[in-house]
Amino acid sequence: MDQKRHKSILYLSVYLTLWFIVNSGNAHALTFHGFAEGAYGKRFEDDTTSHDDYNLMEGRIQLRGAYAPDIADDLEPELVFKGDLIYDRYQELTRGNLREGYLSLTPHDMIDLKIGRQVLTWGTGDLLFINDLFPKDYVSFFIGRDDEYLKLPSDALKASIFFNRVSADIVLLPEFEPNNSISGKRLSYYNPSFNSIVGEEGVMAVDEPERGSEIREKAARIYGTIGRTEAALYYFDGFYKNPLGVDSVTSNAYYPELTVLGFSLRGPLAGGIANLEAGYYDSTEDRHGDNNRVENSAIKAFAGFEKDLGSDLKAGIQYQYEHMLDYDEFIAAGGPANRDEDRHQWTLRLNKLAMNQNLTLGFFAFYAPYDKDYHLRPKVSYKFTDNLSATLGANIFQGEKDYTFFGQLTRNDNIYFRVRYNF
């Protein structure tokens, strides 16, 4: 973590320096925006996390800018910056978080390059991800930060090639950036070695991924349009984003190697938009599936449908299915008996705009019928002016069993409130 923070500060200073150089020169191609935000999230249940009465209390200033210098015009260079400065009362520290800091170039009519820190997103899911294996921050997602913070930035080189009918993205990630997953510090969770829900007393020991100069992860996408349907093929070679392996020597959790092949389709259907996405997760450290310390290979798929119901009301529904490929071998090798071979999940989104679209009523639900657990995300936000907005929302978790995905989070119910001034 420390190393990451130092790096962020380094990036921040590099870009601030750049900023002043740019500002002192010709600034006609410069855009500049940002916001200041205060956020508070209250918890309700006794727990053993770092602070049991709240899990969000922070002030944040985001600055973002883009500068297109007047040099090498045919390369269309652009420098893009986005950084957050956060005073986090929860962790009692002030930190910088560089979310974007990249150079964008168009060296050829058919090629775009993006070099540096960037937020990467692809795939067709609504808060569901199969082929998007770029890092995510589920802690932010569950404590009530803006949805933007579900996505973590990556340090990457992204090359995009555009032909008439088909395009391709190739992403090289020199450093492995895992998800910010639930650890017991801010959110309590189920730890199998305790066989119960734990907080700080059961923070999982995770081996940080190795860092080096070699390329750690690669991702690619080929996409195009068939009629009015968008089709894409995906490839990923890297690591599980959550620590789904246990090291046989240290007994610490770690991030096993992973290769994923997948596809997606998205297009108009019955007056709405339908999508289908699937992926084959090849757990390359456990090809036979008989290692109970490493996640099994799996097939994952989801299908979704979104429709505009009129009067600024939109509804979306998705169904996701995951299937472990060597379940019998996994159990025979001593895998936990409470693990199911299949996982089914539904999601529902409702979004309603009112009062000249200044009021947004949002609702999102995850529901796993066999795990008998769910997660509800109601949200109300209002724009008082073009600059000032407020959001009130909640994260509710419920489940019959401690060890299911949302069931483990039941003590973390929260209500949060955010006020933001955009400039």
Partner 1 sequence: MRKPILLLLLILATPSLSLALTADEIIDKSNLAYYYAANDGKARAKMYIKDSRGRERYREMTILRKDIKDGGKQNFYIYFHEPADVSKMVFMVWKQAEGDDDRWLYLPAIDLVKRIATSDKRSSFAGGVFTYEDVSGRRTGDDTHTLLRDEKFAGKDAYVIKNVPKDAALVEFDHYISWIDKETFLPIKGEYYNDKGKLYRTIEVEKTAVIDGYPTSIKGVGKNLDTGLTTTIEFVDVKYNVGLKEKIFQERYLRKAPREVEK
The C-alpha atoms of residue 244 and residue 226 are separated, in whole angstroms, by 37
Which position has the token pair 């400065």? 85
Count of residues in contact with partner 1, rule CB under 8 A: 50
- Long-range pairs for 148-153 at CB < 8 Å and ≥24 separation? 151/119, 151/120, 151/121, 152/119, 152/177, 152/179, 152/180, 153/98, 153/99, 153/100, 153/117, 153/118, 153/119, 153/177
Q: What one-character DSSP code corresponds to residue 165?
A: S
User: What is the smallest separation between the CB atom of 136 and partner 1, expressed in angstroms?
Assistant: 10
- Of 84-92, 253-261, 288-296, 415-423, which segment contacts partner 1 by CB under 8 A? 415-423
Strands annotated E in 179-296: 189-191, 196-198, 217-226, 229-239, 245-246, 253-254, 257-269, 272-282
Q: Answer yes or no whether residue 69 interacts with partner 1 by CB under 8 A.
A: no
Are the beta carbons of 316 and 349 closer than 8 angstroms? yes
Encoded tokens for 214:
């070699």
User: What is the smallest separation between the CB atom of 33 and partner 1, expressed in angstroms?
Assistant: 5
CB count, 10 Å around CB of 262?
Answer: 23
Single out the residue of 9, 16, 66, 168 in contact with partner 1 (rule: CB under 8 A). Answer: 66
> Looking only at residues 351 through 390 of this chain, which bind partner 1 when binding is defined by CB under 8 A?
356-358, 385-387, 389
The C-alpha atoms of residue 393 and residue 376 are separated, in whole angstroms, by 10
User: What is the smallest separation between the CB atom of 394 and partner 1, expressed in angstroms?
Assistant: 22
Single out the residue of 70, 201, 210, 308 in contact with partner 1 (rule: CB under 8 A). Answer: 308
User: What is the smallest separation between the CB atom of 172 and partner 1, expressed in angstroms?
Assistant: 17
Single out the residue of 54, 223, 382, 417 in contact with partner 1 (rule: CB under 8 A). Answer: 223
User: What is the smallest separation between the CB atom of 204 and partner 1, expressed in angstroms?
Assistant: 27
> Looking only at residues 159 through 218 of this chain, which bind partner 1 when binding is defined by CB under 8 A?
160, 162, 167
Which position has the token pair 């320096």? 17
> Looking only at residues 93 through 152 of this chain, which bind partner 1 when binding is defined by CB under 8 A?
104, 106, 112, 118-121, 147-148, 150-151
Single out the residue of 1, 213, 271, 337 in contact with partner 1 (rule: CB under 8 A). Answer: 271
The C-alpha atoms of residue 204 and residue 304 are separated, in whole angstroms, by 34
> Looking only at residues 332 through 351 of this chain, which bind partner 1 when binding is defined by CB under 8 A?
none
Q: Answer yes or no whether residue 227 interacts with partner 1 by CB under 8 A.
A: no
The three-state DSSP-derived secondary structure of 35-50 is EEEEEEEEECCCCCCC
- What are the residues binding partner 1 (CB under 8 A)? 29, 31, 33-35, 66, 68, 76, 104, 106, 112, 118-121, 147-148, 150-151, 160, 162, 167, 223, 228, 230, 266-268, 271-273, 275, 306-312, 314, 356-358, 385-387, 389, 420, 422-423
